[in-house]
């Protein structure tokens, strides 16, 4: 297949001549909605927000949607709405963005890390059950890369121990488990619309639930503690100003019009990659689960086995990128190895640093989740915009990896 580009050969793909898909994808829908809001002069928390909440909740098969400023805020108001607070333990995975755990700390609860499945990157229900104590109150499963967690097993555990489930669905717009959308599978579920997400307004978030009482509390927490029946300056809860604007909702309504087709396209492209990468030595693709009836693919992930290639993953990533295919290594370390946890960067006002309601200490330097640590060493990511390219573009990804494999002895 020729000399490697990393050694001054010709790349598989000339990205100047054939650039990859860019993000975000926008169109007339966003322009029309934005102009309507702009000219109305009603830019703040009105009819467009309500319309988006209803449409997105329906898209994910949920009864209620409460919009907010971002996915982190959605997780926090979800925890608060379920009564999670000081001294409570919440089980979270360590292969995720910081907000999954920091949201727990922000409500003065204690994140407890359970390991993931090496094959999927999602919470391992067996290890979740091992981490449950008398102080455990909730589980936050992350549908990593858009792949739904084993919600059957997690819901069974939650029922057995009387625990709440807050889904971190910030990668899974459009994903379904046994025909029902993520975010509507547990007690509530949080989504993000940050710039990198599969549906975006730059920032933004939403909490979904089928429970009217949870939705009402979430609305109050996001809207300065106001109640549906009270007057404007009557406040019932210690809420915050976490409201979405009409301009954000206008953009998201436009984005939502093409999300289903984009989701199907990403699924199709990912299937092509699965079928064509699985036979390359040292490349481990994510197994498919029949209970996942639709998957969003916020990113495509596979595992790179250094021992089979005789090279470091970082060198492999560099070589493939030089062939014109954009890949990356993802999270370099488990969440618990971040300075926030290792160097006690948690403020003294938060559990577990200073919490009279907890009664014990957590030393995150002693946490060890072997599958998470291994995945941090093996994972390779392909960002979701790449999956919006055509099928022949997917072959460039396969060809680049095959080329590096066949010429691996060239790499020093």
Q: Which of 120, 213, 215, 115 is nearest to 175 (CA)?
A: 120
Contact between residue 244 and residue 224 where contact means Cβ atoms under 8 Å apart = no
Active site residue 210: no
Give every strand in the sheet of 188-192, ordered side by side. Answer: 64-68, 205-209, 188-192, 164-168, 136-139, 89-92, 110-113
Which residue from 28, 135, 31 is spatially nearest to 358, judged by alpha carbons?
Answer: 135
Catalytic hit among 168, 187, 393, 396: 168
Of 164, 176, 197, 408, catalytic? 197
Q: Which of 8, 231, 233, 290 is flagged as catalytic? A: 233
- Give the active site residue among 243, 284, 303, 408: 243
Print burial letters for 342-380: b (CB count within 10 Å at least 16), e (below 16).
Answer: eeeebeeebbbeebeebeeebebeebebebbbebbbbbb
Catalytic residue, from 56, 97, 358, 364: name it: 97
Beta-strand relationship, 283-285 and 299-304: antiparallel
Q: Which one of 164, 171, 403, 408 is the catalytic residue?
A: 171
Q: List the one residue out of 362, 374, 394 whose CA is nearest residue 115.
A: 374
Catalytic residue chosen out of the listed positions 194, 342, 377, 395: 194
Q: Cα torsion for 150, 156, 159, 160, to the nearest 10°?
A: -130
User: Catalytic annotation on 194?
Assistant: yes
Instruction: Examine the residue annotation and report whether 97 is marked as an active-site residue of this protein.
Output: yes
- Radius of gyration of the chain from Cα atoms? 22
Exposure b/e, 178-217, CB count within 10 A at least 16 = b: eebbbbbbbbbbbbbbbeebbbbbebbbbbbbbbeebbbb
Tell me which H or E stretch contains 120: none
Task: Report residue 88 as tokens.
Answer: 């409570």
Q: In angstroms, what CA-CA distances link 306 with 257, 302, 379?
A: 42, 13, 11
Choosing from 143, 226, 266, 322, the catalytic residue is: 226
CA dihedral sign of residues 269, 271, 272, 274: positive
Helix (H, G, I), strand (E, B) or coil at 208: strand
Give me the phi and psi of 177, to 5 degrees please: -120, 120
The verdict on whether omega for the bond into residue 235 sits within 30 degrees of 0, i.e. cis, is no
Element (H, E) at 368: none
Q: Is 197 considered catalytic here?
A: yes
For the annotated catalytic residues, the residue numbers are 97, 168, 171, 194, 197, 226, 233, 243
């Amino acid at each position: 297949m020729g000399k490697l580009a990393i050694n001054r050969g010709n790349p598989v793909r000339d990205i100047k001549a054939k650039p990859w898909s860019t993000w975000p994808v926008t169109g007339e829908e966003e322009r029309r909605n934005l102009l309507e809001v702009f000219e109305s002069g009603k830019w703040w928390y009105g009819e467009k927000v309500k319309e988006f909440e209803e449409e997105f909740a329906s898209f994910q098969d949920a009864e209620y949607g409460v919009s907010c400023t971002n996915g982190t805020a959605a997780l926090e108001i979800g925890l608060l709405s379920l009564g999670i607070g000081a001294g409570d333990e919440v089980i979270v995975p360590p292969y995720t963005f910081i907000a999954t755990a920091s949201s727990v700390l922000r409500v003065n609860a204690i994140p407890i890390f359970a390991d993931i499945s090496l094959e999927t990157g999602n919470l391992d229900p067996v290890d979740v059950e091992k981490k449950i104590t008398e102080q455990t109150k909730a589980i936050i499963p992350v549908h990593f890369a858009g792949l739904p967690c084993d919600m059957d097993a997690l819901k069974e555990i939650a029922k057995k121990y009387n625990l709440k489930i807050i889904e971190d669905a910030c990668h899974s717009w459009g994903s379904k488990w046994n025909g029902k959308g993520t975010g509507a599978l547990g007690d509530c579920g949080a989504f993000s619309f940050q710039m990198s997400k599969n549906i975006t307004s730059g920032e933004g978030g939403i909490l979904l639930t089928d429970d009217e009482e949870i939705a009402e509390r979430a609305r109050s927490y996001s809207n300065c503690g106001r109640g549906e029946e009270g007057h404007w300056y009557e406040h019932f809860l210690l809420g915050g100003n976490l409201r979405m604007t009409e301009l954000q909702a206008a953009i998201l309504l436009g984005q939502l019009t093409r999300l289903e087709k984009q989701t199907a396209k990403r699924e199709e492209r990912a299937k092509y990659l699965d079928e064509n990468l699985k036979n390359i030595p040292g490349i481990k693709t994510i197994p498919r689960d029949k209970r996942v009836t639709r998957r969003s693919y916020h990113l495509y992930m596979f595992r790179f086995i250094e021992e089979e290639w005789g090279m470091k993953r970082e060198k492999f990533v560099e070589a493939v990128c030089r062939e014109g295919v954009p890949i990356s290594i993802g999270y370099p370390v488990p969440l618990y190895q971040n300075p926030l946890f290792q160097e006690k960067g948690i403020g003294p006002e938060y559990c577990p640093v200073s919490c009279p309601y907890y009664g014990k200490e957590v030393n995150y330097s002693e946490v060890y989740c072997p599958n998470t640590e291994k995945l941090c060493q093996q994972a390779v990511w392909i960002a979701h915009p790449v999956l919006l390219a055509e099928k022949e573009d997917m072959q460039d990804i396969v060809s680049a990896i095959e080329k590096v494999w066949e010429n691996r002895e060239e790499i020093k």
